Structure 1
Amino acid sequence: MATPDLTDLLARAEAISSDAERVTAAHLRTVALPPVDGRPAGVMGLITLDNGEDHTKPNTFGPRSLLALNTAIDAALADDEITSIGVTGKPFILAAGADLTSIAGGGPDAVRTVAELGHAVFRKLRDGGKTSFGFINGLALGGGLEVALHCDYRTVMDSAPALGLPEVMLGLVPGWGGAYLVPNLIGPEKAVKVILENPLNNGKTLGGKAAFELGLADACFGGADYLEQSLLWAARVLTGATVVERPELDRGEAWDAAVAKGAAIAQARTGGASPAAAKALELIAGARTATRDEGFAAEDEALEAMSRTPELLASLYAFDLVQKRAKRPAGAPDRKLARPVTKVGIVGAGLMASQLALLFVRRLEVPVVLSDLDQERVDKGVAYVHAEVDKLLAKGRINADKANRHKALVSGVVDKSTAFADADFVIEAVFEEMSVKKSVFADVEKVVSPDCILATNTSSLSITEMAAELEHPERVVGFHFFNPVAVMPLLEIIRGEQTSDAALATAFATGKALKKTTILVQDSPSFIVNRLLGRFMSEVSRIVDEGTPVQVVDGAFAGVTPMSPFTLIALVGPAIALHNTETLAGAFPDRFYVSPALRRVVEARKAAYFGADGTLDPEVEALLEKPAAPVVRTAAEVRTEVLTGLAEEVRIMLDEGVVAAAEDLDLAMITGAGFSFWNGGLTMLLEREGLGTFH
């Protein structure tokens, strides 16, 4: 199969280049490799990708960046002194894939050009006649991983935080060789995991060690001298002292079985609603017998096809939210008003409080003091944090000095009077009951300074009411995390009626330091995510109580929500789901329904509706409503009715000014509830279903 003419490709790439692209330079230098056992290893042309910004901004590939890499590879291939080529990135980052922002405006033609150009440039690493090495020294996603996959050999840093091919999550497919190279490197079953299952699991990625164990890299090194170790290893490979052996792949029934397994995963996660998932499986299936040229051409065709789908437009919208809006929260006050936080107090020492303590000490590196009713609970909370720090040390995520420093910064007390006196920020994580939280803040206010911020981790209660009886209600702010705290990106920051700009600015600055996605929310029942999920569960519960089987309702939302409704109940716990619905029904009795059956499930202390075998628990079934005249809906009817309710709630929340715009609702549902990029969160899905206009 003929490959695209490179001269034509370069001209087309120049034509679609955009000033919006954050250009990644490709710096070429020569490295004399040491001889091994007296055998010369030659000179490596080492190409380092670097966009010239601080190390938090990943390298990306747009047209100009690909042209820069092409120039560097050509220079290395033309230099007779250079006998091998290596590609790596600036510290801790190889690359994060395509620069979607710079490509998006060009439409399908631009997508096709960039797809073909990426293939043409990257394949020179394999076809140029000089042995090539990919040194994956940090984050490597999408094209960042694919550029290394095109090399003859790869090493990876063991602590690299994120490797993967997330394209299906974005409504795309791996389009620079990943869909062909990965199954032919590690086999179809592992390829399904990397290309399909992980992306559909909220964009899950692999750490460096896990990527090595999966076979994506040939060697794994750690420490500050990762590159030096990789160069020494490359020298051993080049001299024949080290021989890399890769497994023989089963191209028979095992390939069909892996694709079938992938199809089942895609159906369960997307309900057949993701064109990208289907296309990715098609590419994996074709990779069994296709030549490399045929595989790459199929990727080009697939990317262009995906660029014409509404799912890609939704993905680009969602991508823009997490890349831009998340970094500039709408309505946040001037950051200059923020007060420094040099010590944190946490009221409570249970699991949530302990998770908060771990996050604060790791990100802020300031003293953190846990408090609770008795010493046993306090000691348990501190021990949890210390144990988690030790786990990070064991995994190589932090060094011994940092582990010791973090553990030394965490302490616990029963008497807050002295320990909290010099705290700048105190957050409560106690029982979700207004009277309890008001009592906690009344006690804390007696011992902290007048400027200390009082934050509440409430998931549903009024910030205004919680602060009403305090001497300084203006310093109280909602600071709602999602569980698990270390994993979930979202932090809802809630402004009460009297919350000051200084308190709010401090909350946003602290949230940024904690590396969370922060969204400003006006004080309202259950805020954003829990309110929308509460409406979702309210509608679902009503439909079940009216007579539609639980199994039908639970299977109606594949491709809409990240998990089925009764899986969600099992995750958060029936008691918490009931509490949230009761709170919302108390505020909005005309729209929110509290299920008597759910109450009975909670009273019976049942943790889930379904058993471990996936069937409805008979004890739960006995607790369900038995209507005299049941109304049985189809799965399609269930879906439409529930989405109609959500559309109504979205419109009301926007009209009430709960958030600044629909974009904030979508950002919250993506980062706090795992709603899909390829659906654009929630509101774009509702618009596509014809249930309203929100933008």
Structure 2
Amino acid sequence: MNIAVIGSGTMGNGIAHIFAQYGYPVNLIDVNQEALEKGMQTIAKNLDRQVGKGVLTADQKDTILKGITTFTDLKTGVAEADLIVEAATENLELKLHIFRDLNTYAKKEAILASNTSSISITQIAAVTCRGEKVIGMHFMNPVPLMKLVEVIRGYATSDETTKVVMELSRALDKTPVEVNDYPGFVANRILMPMINEAIYTLFEGVAGVQEIDTVMKLGMSHPMGPLQLADFIGLDVCLAILNVLQQGFGQPKYAPCPLLVNMVTAGKKGIKSGEGFYNYANGTKDAPVASKFL
């Protein structure tokens, strides 16, 4: 099976990595050649970690990298793909634009999957003429390590498409969980309100960043506190998902905290920008940032 992955950012390069690691030929596609080079460098670094831990050999690393071909032209990159996984920015209009193009360029029998973490698969499928072939394939970050794949069935997604994606996920040594197409699906419908409430707890002065994260790590056995996790996900991504939840359900409980809105507006997006609830200027999590917006 030939795989195409659209988007070479954090999720896209991780998805390309895992497919190539399990022997699937992968085309990694991005409009920006510099982004592709950066994505391939990230894959190489992550493979080096696996080699260092004894998970892979140096020869296996080389084979995996050779199994990934990069493209800046979408039409060429998806032409022979049997499964196409879109992993672009969590932006509805961008995803709809990509799927309109995929409807034209991809083989008729190709499965079109989106790695969206919250946007309706039914809405995405509606801009194609092959709704039965459109499905959500929501990987978790970091893709090579996290076992879950949330498999989202749109209104028109066929049983056969779902079966193929579930089996393919298992072939990657992942655990697929089938869910239905409602805002946020399962993972983010539960996770994002918790993160948002943690931000409100900071915003209202109940406790500081480290204190909030420590309570959740030690008291609830979470491996990472919610504010650090928000930085890891990307505060802009958290905001986008909360907006989808609020629009989809129309309930005040999903309204993003004003502190989150202000931080994203100011460009403080977490690890990706070097600063969020913590400072990452040195490449690792440093002391919490005393937000000027409090």
Normalising by structure 1, report the TM-score.
Answer: 0.38
Residue aligning to 2:153: 495
Backbone CA RMSD of aligned residues: 2.4
Shift of 1:451: 1.1
Cα-to-partner distance string for 1:163-214 (whole Å, 9 max, x where unaligned) = xxxxxxxxxxxxxxxxxxxxxxxxxxxxxxxxxxxxxxxxxxxxxxxxxxxx
Which structure has the greater CA radius of gyration?
1
Normalising by structure 2, report the TM-score.
Answer: 0.85
Question: Which of structures 1 and 2 has the larger relative contact order (alpha carbons within 8 angstroms, sep 6+)?
Answer: 2
Q: Which runs of 5+ in 2 are unaligned?
A: 269-274, 280-284
Residue aligning to 2:271: none
- Once residues 52 and 196 of structure 2 are traced to their aligned partners in structure 1, the CA distance between those partners, rounded to angstroms, is 44
- Once residues 613 and 424 of structure 1 are traced to their aligned partners in structure 2, the CA distance between those partners, rounded to angstroms, is 43
The secondary structure found in structure 2 opposite 1:525 is: coil
Residue aligning to 1:426: 84
Provide closer, same or farther for how the CA distance between residues 569 and 389 of structure 1 changes in structure 2, counting only shifts above 3 A: closer
1:220-299 superposed matches below 5 A: none
Provide closer, same or farther for how the CA distance between residues 576 and 400 of structure 1 changes in structure 2, counting only shifts above 3 A: closer
Residue aligning to 2:128: 470
Say how many residue pairs are matched: 279
Residue aligning to 2:258: 596
Paired residue for 1:417, among 57, 70, 75? 75
- Once residues 154 and 34 of structure 2 are traced to their aligned partners in structure 1, the CA distance between those partners, rounded to angstroms, is 34
- Once residues 543 and 406 of structure 1 are traced to their aligned partners in structure 2, the CA distance between those partners, rounded to angstroms, is 44
Shift of 1:569: 2.4
Shift of 1:448: 1.6
What percent identity do the matched residue pairs reach?
A: 32
Shift of 1:575: 2.1
Shift of 1:480: 0.5
Paired residue for 2:15, among 345, 352, 356? 356
Q: Is the 8 A contact 2:235 2:276 kept in 1?
A: yes
Cα-to-partner distance string for 1:342-386 (whole Å, 9 max, x where unaligned) = 1001111223211111100112x1210011113333344344435
The secondary structure found in structure 2 opposite 1:578 is: helix
Q: Is the 8 A contact 1:481 1:492 kept in 2?
A: yes
- Once residues 415 and 571 of structure 1 are traced to their aligned partners in structure 2, the CA distance between those partners, rounded to angstroms, is 30
Cα-to-partner distance string for 1:489-533 (whole Å, 9 max, x where unaligned) = 111000000111111111101100011111111011111121111
- Once residues 378 and 613 of structure 1 are traced to their aligned partners in structure 2, the CA distance between those partners, rounded to angstroms, is 29
Instruction: Name the amino acid aligned to 1:359.
Output: I
Shift of 1:581: 1.9
Say whether 1:623 aligns with 2:293.
Answer: yes
Paired residue for 1:442, among 100, 106, 123? 100
Residue aligning to 2:243: 582
Q: Which runs of 5+ in 1 are unaligned?
A: 1-341, 625-695
Shift of 1:475: 0.6
Instruction: Name the amino acid aligned to 1:349.
Output: S
The secondary structure found in structure 2 opposite 1:411 is: strand
Say whether 1:560 aligns with 2:220.
Answer: yes
- Once residues 538 and 489 of structure 1 are traced to their aligned partners in structure 2, the CA distance between those partners, rounded to angstroms, is 25
Residue aligning to 1:605: 267
Q: Is the 8 A contact 2:198 2:227 kept in 1?
A: no
The secondary structure found in structure 2 opposite 1:417 is: helix
The secondary structure found in structure 2 opposite 1:431 is: coil
Q: Is the 8 A contact 2:29 2:77 kept in 1?
A: no
- Once residues 351 and 617 of structure 1 are traced to their aligned partners in structure 2, the CA distance between those partners, rounded to angstroms, is 24
The secondary structure found in structure 2 opposite 1:441 is: helix
Instruction: Name the amino acid aligned to 2:277.
Output: Y
Q: Is the 8 A contact 1:578 1:594 kept in 2?
A: yes
Provide closer, same or farther for how the CA distance between residues 385 and 571 of structure 1 changes in structure 2, counting only shifts above 3 A: closer
